[in-house]
Amino acid sequence: MGQKGLHVALYGERGVGKTSLANVLSEIFHNQNLPEYRAVMINCNTEDVFDSIWRNVFRELHLALEDDASPEDVRYHLSRLDPPAIIVIDELDRVEDDDSLSLLSDTVKSLSDRAVPSTLVLVGVAGSVDELIGEHRSVERALVQVEMPRMSLSELREVLERGFGEIGLTARPTALNKITALSEGLPHFTHLLGGFASERVVADDRNEVVLADVDAAIDRAVTTHTMRSAYQTATRSTRADNLYPDVLLACALAAKDALGFFSAGAVRDPLEIVAKRRLQIPAFARHLKQFLQPERGSVLYRTGEPRRYFYRFANPLLQPYVILNGLAENRITDEEVAELQGIDFTSESPLEQRRLF
Ligand SMILES: Nc1ncnc2c1ncn2[C@@H]1O[C@H](COP(=O)(O)OP(=O)(O)OP(=O)(O)O)[C@@H](O)[C@H]1O
Ligand SMILES: [Mg+2]
């Protein structure tokens, strides 16, 4: 960034810290010995089109834009900005209008070709740049592609310790371990659980976060989280002995590949622990299939072919949520989760990275 003609696409899973990084990037620009820059950030929504996106940007820049702006109009105005700007367009994944995304990549190309000094940072939930702005070969050379991965256990621990430290708290190693292990690489959960745990400590007039604070934070997180309704839609049933909650929890605990995919076979071991009896695939295949259906919120996504299907949580936030909920509802113990995840978070020693999912 800061190099004329190059713009940035920052993408990754939901909740990995994209918006936070985009914020820090613009702060760095403000602080370093770089030429003076302005920074603006806007969020997109499902109704947004090319014109409304740029109208929002220009409003932030205190400039007016004529009606029906074209990529050339945008380039013209940006090329006259003094000082130049870092323009973060966040939540681009929410824009539904494909033509608007095409116009946006034309804009990137046009800004780049004419070496306009302002920098665009396109941010959103996506697995690739193509998924973020559509396939536009011509724009690739003009975009620095930054994929935001999940955070490591030690990074999450740092996030927590820094957060607690800022409000004068310390934390027991077991409390740190439990939060970081259950966050599954997503700072979203680290922040949430750390916040709830520290509120409890402060309310009690203590200064050390202990395991009981984390457990109370988990109880609070599962009842207030936006994933709660997705969880309920996926698992509801009129029969008290239904298997949906157990199968979904077993899916959340199943061994996964680097992309978060698991097979039906991988559900058996965790399901044996959760359901307290060994079930073979035919006994829960119906449940897996149901989780793909809109009536159950399409909480799982499936790829592959019959007999070789692979499943993944459609929303990556739901998987850690389901485990937290399983702990809150005593469907599973800390020790069982630790064993299945291969991360012994019940010990006092700092956790080693084994696998992220
Ligand atoms: N480096 C970090 N240090 C501390 N907290 C962080 C860090 N990165 C992210 N967080 C926290 O994690 C949570 C999720 O981060 P953020 O909103 O940036 O993610 P995102 O990828 O933009 O999410 P979404 O996909 O929902 O837009 C926020 O509560 C944020 O404060
Ligand atoms: Mg965000």
283-304: pLDDT as tens digits: 999 999 999 999 999 999 999 9
The pLDDT of residue 357 is: 45
Using pLDDT thresholds of 50, 70 and 90, give the confidence band for residue 111: very high
pTM: 0.86
Interval between CA 75 and ligand 1 midpoint (Å): 31
270-282: pLDDT as tens digits: 999 999 999 999 9
Q: Are strands 85-90 and 7-12 parallel, antiparallel or unpaired?
A: unpaired
Mean pLDDT, rounded, of the chain:
92
Domain regions of the chain by residue span: 7-148, 153-224, 227-336
Number of alpha carbons in the 13 Å side-chain half-sphere of residue 87 = 30
Ligand with the closest atom to the CA of 15 = 1
| Ligand 1 nearest-atom number relative to CA 24 | 1
Q: Please tell me the residue having the least CA distance from ligand 1 atom 23.
A: 15
| Ligand 1 nearest-atom number relative to CA 192 | 29
CATH of span 227-336: 1.10.10
Using pLDDT thresholds of 50, 70 and 90, give the confidence band for residue 240: confident
Question: What class has domain 153-224?
Answer: mainly alpha
Pocket test for ligand 1, best of 164, 191, 225, 317 (most atoms within 8 A of CB): 191
Ligand with the closest atom to the CA of 158 = 1
User: Using an 8 Å Cβ cutoff, are 156 and 180 in contact?
Assistant: yes
Pocket test for ligand 1, best of 11, 19, 21 (most atoms within 8 A of CB): 19
27-66: pLDDT as tens digits: 776 666 666 788 899 999 999 999 999 999 999 999 888 7
The pLDDT of residue 255 is: 94
Pairwise CA distance, residues 136 & 314, whole Å:
26
Residues 6+ apart with CB under 8 A from 234: 244, 248, 291, 296, 297, 299
DSSP state of 7: E
- Where b means 16+ CB within 10 Å and e means fewer, 96-129 reads eeeebbbbbbbbbbbbbeeebbbbbbbbbbbeeb
Interval between CA 285 and ligand 2 midpoint (Å): 35
- Find the farthest-apart pair of alpha carbons in the chain and give their distance in angstroms, rounded: 69
Q: Please tell me the residue having the least CA distance from ligand 1 atom 25.
A: 14
CATH of span 7-148: 3.40.50.300
Q: Please tell me the residue having the least CA distance from ligand 1 atom 14.
A: 188
Interval between CA 204 and ligand 2 midpoint (Å): 33
| Ligand 1 nearest-atom number relative to CA 12 | 21
What is the H or E stretch that residue 199 is in? helix 187-203
Ligand 1 environment, Cβ below 6 A: 14-20, 125, 159, 187-188, 191
Same fold, 7-148 and 153-224: no
Interval between CA 91 and ligand 2 midpoint (Å): 6
Pairwise CA distance, residues 191 & 20, whole Å:
12
Ligand with the closest atom to the CA of 11 = 1
